[in-house]
Amino acid sequence: MKKIVITLLLLPLLGFAQTIENIDYISPFHEGLAAIKKGEKWAFINQEAKIVVDFRDDLVLTKTDDASYPIFSNERCLIAHQKSDVLYYGYIDRTGNPIIQPQFLNATNFEGDKALALKVEKEIIGYNDIFKKDVVSYHYFEVVIDKEGKTIEHLTQLAIHVSPKGKKDKNPPAITSKLISRSLVMVGDENKKWSLKKIE
């Protein structure tokens, strides 16, 4: 009888297990979180099956050996938002809040405290008197960013000119550099040759 009373008193404190139904896919756990898919949206659960990032359609999939699903890497997960027909990449934290606003033409998962990204810059090259607006040119650089999204190293010195809105190919421009250690990056060139660059 005493055991039954103690059990009844503890039940409200222990709570009941959460059930999530109609899931299309469950990824392996990575950094303590697993991605789950329902329809076209993804969410993240912790190891107690509690949803910590609710279902959303802006999470970027990472290709693994077995499948493609969103992951957290160093407490950051890639997201992509479309603005004026251009897809921009950023990151959320483990609560689902944007920690780096979507601003890059492409970006990688974090490796340690660094990630690679294509940083877009807009240059005003003139003024159109007829339309009463600036004439602008867009170009981007491959950069290394820190966990707050700040550029810590430019990897390409020459700007690659692009008109993001006029791009027929909807895939993001490729990132050709590769982080190979905490302080070394392989930087590719147009001749498919590599150079090693030390970063701080």
- Dist CA 126 CA 137 (whole Å): 9
Q: Tell me, what's the pLDDT at 84?
A: 79
Average pLDDT over residues 30-46: 96
Please give the helix or strand (H or E) that residue 187 lies within, else none. Answer: strand 184-188
pTM, to two decimals: 0.80
The answer to whether 36 and 20 are in contact (CB under 8 A) is yes
Tokens of 61: 């999939």
Residue 44 CA to chain centroid, in angstroms?
Answer: 14
Residue 35 near residue 43 (C-beta atoms within 8 A)? yes
Q: pLDDT exceeding 90 applies to what percent of the chain?
A: 54
- pLDDT for the residue numbered 170: 66
Q: What is the mean pLDDT of the chain?
A: 84
The better pLDDT of the pair 132, 7 is held by 132
pLDDT at residue 136 is higher than 80: no
Which stretch, 55-69, 133-147, 168-182, has highest mean pLDDT? 55-69
Q: What was the pLDDT predicted at 169?
A: 55
Distance, CA of 167 to CA of 188 (rounded, Å): 23
Binned at pLDDT 50, 70 and 90, residue 165 comes out as: low
Average pLDDT over residues 122-144: 80
Using 50, 70 and 90 to split pLDDT, how confident is the model at 173? confident
- Which residue did the predictor score with more confidence, 192 or 37? 37
Residue 8 binned pLDDT confidence (cut-offs 50, 70, 90): very low
1 has pLDDT over 50:
no
The answer to whether residue 11 scores a pLDDT higher than 50 is no
